[in-house]
Amino acid sequence: MKKTISVGKAPRVEIAKIAGNLRITGWEDDEIHAKSSGEFLELLQDDEKVTISSDGDLTLSLPQAAQIKIAAIGGDATLRTLENYLVLAEVGGDLTLRKIGDAKISKIGGDFIARQTRSLNITAVGGDASIRNIAGDVNIARIGNDLHLRDLQGNLNADVGDDALIYISPQEGANYQLSAGDDILLRLPLHVDAELELSAGSDLLVKIPDIEKSDENPRTLKLGLATAKITFSAGDDLRVTTESDDWIDMPSFSIPTFSDDFADRITSKVEEKLKMAEEKIFQAEKNIKGFNFSPENWGKKSRSTSSKKVSADERLLILKMLEEKKISAADAEKLLAALEA
């Protein structure tokens, strides 16, 4: 079912509860195109406000400057190229934001991916979070699993249940506060002006040129003019480095005071799960209930709608990671489900 209405350059759009998946793409036209996989699709227009309801998966193309308010999404959601304010109450599954303005979100049940977003204000993320290229602040009250954050221009305030990989260039006057239940890896530029307050439940290692090695924990450091403030607390290990090599290539680092498997544990656990999450969301975007939702392909079936089988090698690899305690049983189930999706 498809519908199209004409609107202004910056309409107010309110989307009622969506039982399935939602995909929104901003464009330059002054129209809203809507397509639903269900039997009900309604677009009610009142001056510059449009209310949209659907009983199935929903895909929308609407003006980039639209102000969007969404009640709830039962499945997964992807929003792209929207420059105005976004308010989202709840997403039951995974959420992807790309080229979005300011976003205020109450709850994300699954994994979260954000790229090129102006600012983020989130109450809870149930799974992993991968965040990159944020022009403003990032405030996330709770992330259930892992966080991978890099290229942040504003402030940071986040609580992470498991591991955190952080790559930032501290800005003058900015404040970065982070607590993690397990490990933290913080990568800083070689020259930085920041005051660091660091604490770890286990090992604390600072590998910065001209900074003496120390077993002090907690530890306070002043780098350069100390114009930014970094306060990080890890439940297990915490490492701060300015290594110029590829920061993800952790096995190349010498970590004498950390456990032998620290490098493999933090990188494989975080990066592998986030890679799987991104792939799962990408596939979901391409094939939601067998439909290709690109505007030019509305109504056409995807070429492949059958589930693929997990190979024996893939299953053995996941079981090996589980046996070595690099992932939990729940993570193993998630990876198997993602591979079969």
pTM of full prediction above 0.95? no
pLDDT score of 8: 87
Give residues with Cβ within 8 angstroms of 71, minimum separation 6: 14, 15, 16, 17, 89, 90
pLDDT band at 212 (very low <50, low <70, confident <90, very high): confident
Q: Helix, strand, coil proportions of the chain in percent (round to 5)?
A: 15, 45, 40
* pLDDT tens, residue by residue, 28-74: 999 999 999 888 899 999 877 999 999 889 999 999 999 999 999 99
> 37 - beta bridge partners?
none
* pLDDT tens, residue by residue, 80-122: 999 999 999 999 999 999 999 999 999 999 999 999 999 999 9
* pLDDT tens, residue by residue, 146-172: 999 999 999 999 999 999 999 999 999
Let me know: does 68 contact 13? Beta carbons within 8 Å: yes
Let me know: does 64 contact 24? Beta carbons within 8 Å: no
- pLDDT of 315 above 70: no
Tokens of 168: 């930032």
Which residue in 190, 157, 199, 204 sits closest to 176, CA to CA? 157
Let me know: does 162 contact 146? Beta carbons within 8 Å: yes
Give residues with Cβ within 8 angstroms of 107, minimum separation 6: 89, 90, 91, 123, 124, 126
